[in-house]
Structure formats: structure tokens, C-alpha cells
Amino acid sequence: MIRLRPAWCLVWCLASAAAATGGCTSVTPPAQPLVVGVLAPLTGPAAETGADTVRGAQLAVEVVNQALPTLGVPLAADAGLPGLGGATLLLATADTAGDPATTSTQVSALVTERHAIGLVTANSAKSTEVAGTQVQRLRVPLLDAHTTADYLTELGADWYFRTGPSDSQLADSAFSLLGRQPERPGGGGHRVVLVTETGTEGAAAAVRLRELVPRSGATVAKQIEMSATDSPDTLDTEKDADSADAVLAWAQSTGGAAAIAAAADRTGIPLYGLGQGFRQFDRPLPEASTMMRAMPWSQDYAGRNPVARDVLRLYQQRFNRPMSAAAADAFTAMITLAKAVDTAGSGDPAAIRTALRQTSLPATQMIMPWNGVRFGPDGQNTLAAAVVEQWQFHDFRLVYPVELAITVARWGRRDAQ
């Protein structure tokens, strides 16, 4: 089993030629570690997700700072950053409290007071937009490990990068699975009821999804908005079930996702969930539910990927808890940032940004079900992808892509019987 040395040992062993604290290899790195920052909501409703984010980023820094030659992720083989003579990283954390104004303040503090050379963020789309504005002013790269909103890559912020998939990329996976679903008699392609959570972000998602549906060969039979407090009767049990093959939904909050799921369950047709609300959904559902959700990462996938299995074991060993999706997102973003720092061979943020634009990480070094990491001109990882999970056997199970699936997708209540 790969074991991590304690974090205090990592810094001192790599910084000191004495190596007296546990047999660490002596190197000659720069006098001070290079500071990288992580922005996450450590207080407020999303505090649990924020804590997982920090743990994921922390594990990535510890992996970089020591030699783990049998671990297949970038920079694990050597102690520290080989491109900077074995320099170590130091993680600085900042609590955004899930608030855009606080996020703005914390970005400035990390860069101007703690001298962070790059940041990883895991916040709401609005807070991330504010952080993107700040890093444009401060000229420091920002890696978004959490949001999926397409509009963030359309703002022209050239210091902003997103490692995970966008809503459009997540929708592509849902549409691919929808294409495998049997059509109703008469053909003519699949028809969907498009449901989005009420709000500005939901409205933007509705516009984007309505553009994507025809590309998949489907048509929109009906389009509605729902809030977290709406009744399940919002969807007409008989009429919507007769007119459509599936419900395609987007939700920002878990409450919105729960309301949509309850309404969709009344129709008996499959629900494909997109957005943070469905990604973070952890409430039990009726076993006959046909809810599916597109995810950037899955515990079931991790069991099939040797690199992911090793990282999950390290995480369990280090923090005494299973690795979550938020932790996996942050781990991947921080490793990507560290790789760019190493490639730049410098702590200069401009050089790091240039290295990020040239980054090309292979799928074989990923703990995510992606084709790798390569950023497009808008900062979006063009190789990000998704898997689809469905509620089965009292939990979410991986059902797509078929080569990774551990069970088959159910298309309606009759399949659950």
C-alpha cells in the first residue's frame, strides 16, 4: 500500500539537507515553498462540499511534495517539482462562505497577502464569475473545479480555466444514453419534457439545452420551470407520459432537483438530471425511480480505474473517509495546476498561464472518466466528459458508457419490476 508521510515531514524533509525527520531524500529546492490557493465554502450550506474540496486539493499537494513512484498521476514519481529543482507547494485555503462578495475579498487576500501563484476554486457559478473578474485584474490563473455553467467560458476571461465538463458536455452524455432508449411506436425521434429550476442560471441553462436537444435528434415536447417548493403535480402524470419519452432537467439546488425528481417519478418515464443540484443529490428515492444523472466522476468508475483506486486508497488513509466527487474534482484541478507550474519552471503567474494553455494530460493519468486535460481557447477542458448514473439498488449506479457500466439502464417502471 502506498503511504503518505505526514504533511509536516514533507515540507521539512524536502527543504532540509539534514533529512533528520524520517529518512527523506535530500534535495535543494528554493528556500520557500510555492503557494497555491484553494477557494471553497467552508461555512454555510455548502460547507461539507467545501471541506471535501480542501481535502482533495491537500492530497494533491502532498502527492506532489513527495516521491510516490508507483502512483500513476502526474508529478507523483519525484519529490517536489522536478522542473523547479524539487520545489514544494504550500496550500493556502480561503473560506468564501458561498458568497460572491466574500469570494472577491478572499481572492485578493490569497494573491496579494499570501502570494499565491495560482488558485483552484469550487464555488457557485456567480461566485466563480466574481473570482474570474478578480484574477483578470490580479493576473493570476484560476482553475475552476466545480461549476458547469457554459456562460463562464464565454466571458472572455483569459486567466480562467475549467478542468471539468460544462453543462453542454454533460448533456452530450445524457443525449447519448437517450439515443439508446427505445423510441415509442411510430418513430419520429425521441421527445423530451424540458424542466429547469426557476432562476437566472436555470433560464440560461434552458436556452442552452433547447439549442442542444435538436442536435441529439430529439425534440422538445414541453418546456416548464419548477422551484424547490413546487408541487409534484406540476408535471401532468398522464399527458406528459404520453407525449414524451423522457424528462430532461437542470437544477442548481438539491431542493430543486428533489422537486423535479418527485414530479418526474409521477410520469413513470426516465429523468435525466443535469446541474449541481442533481450532482449533489443524496436523498433516497423510490426504488422504482428512473432518475439518471450525468456526472464528471463516479465511485463505481473509480473501482474500474487502477490510478483512481490508488488515489482513493490514499485519500481514505489520509482522511479516514471515502473520496467524494468534490474531492476528486479538486484533486484533479490542483494536480493540473501543479503540472503547469512545473512545466513553466517558474512561479511567475504569466508563465503558468502559458503552460496551462499548452497542457496535455493523458487519460491514463486521470482519476476521472475523461479523455485527459487540454484547454481550448476559452479555457474549457475540451477532453472532459461524463458518465451517467441511475438510482438502482438503493444507490446511484454507473449505467453509461456501457463499457464502464456495472448494471444496465432502466427505461421505465416496468423494468424495475
Length of the chain: 417
Per-residue pLDDT reduced to its tens digit, 360-380: 999 999 999 999 999 999 999
Round to whole Å and give the CA distance between 221 and 389.
24
- Report phi then psi at 212, rounded to 5: -80, -30
What is the C-alpha to C-alpha distance for residues 415 and 145, in angstroms, rounded to an integer? 36
> C-alpha distances in angstroms, 246 versus 178, 195, 342?
8, 11, 46
Predicted confidence at residue 8, as pLDDT, reads 40
pLDDT value at residue 185: 66
Which DSSP string do the residues of 199-245 spell out, in sequence order? SHHHHHHHHHHHHHHHHTT-EEEEEEEE-TT--GGGS-HHHHHHH-S
3-state DSSP call for residue 345?
coil
> What pLDDT was estimated at residue 231?
87
307: Cα separation from own chain's centroid: 17
Tell me, what's the pLDDT at 29?
52
Side-chain half-sphere exposure of 245, counting CA atoms within 13 A: 22
Strands (E) in 49-190, as ranges, are 89-95, 119-121, 142-144, 160-162
CA dist., res. 404 & res. 36, Å (int): 34
pLDDT of 415 over the 80 cut: no
Q: Cβ neighbours of residue 154 under 8 Å, at least 6 residues apart?
A: 378
Superfamily name and number for 168-295+387-416: Response regulator (3.40.50.2300)
What is the spatial distance between Cα 380 and Cα 396, in angstroms, rounded to a whole number?
27
CB 138 within 8 A of CB 115: no
Residue burial 172-197, b: 16+ Cβ < 10 Å; e: rest = bbbbebbeebeeeeeeeebbbbbbbb
- Tens of pLDDT along 40-80? 999 998 999 999 999 999 999 999 999 999 999 999 999 99
pTM of the predicted model, to two decimals?
A: 0.88
Q: Give every CB contact of residue 412 below 8 A, 6+ residues apart in sequence.
A: 268, 269, 270, 290
C-alpha cell recorded at residue 273: 438530471
The CA distance from 142 to 39, in Å, is 10
What percent of the chain is predicted at pLDDT more than 90? Answer: 71
As its CATH architecture, domain 7-165+301-373 has 3-Layer(aba) Sandwich (3.40)
Instruction: Give the domain ranges of the chain.
Output: 7-165+301-373, 168-295+387-416
In this predicted model, which residue has the larger pLDDT, 394 or 89?
89
Judge whether 63 and 71 are in contact, CB under 8 Å: yes
pLDDT at 3: 55
Once rounded to an integer, what is the mean pLDDT over residues 166-175? 91
**168-295+387-416: same fold as 7-165+301-373?**
yes
Q: Is the pLDDT confidence value at 395 over 70? A: yes
Contacts of 125 (CB under 8 A, 6+ apart): 147, 149, 151, 152, 201, 252
- Do residues 147 and 167 make contact, with C-beta atoms less than 8 angstroms apart? no
**Dihedral class, residue 186 (left if φ above 0, else alpha if ψ from -120 to 50, else beta):** left
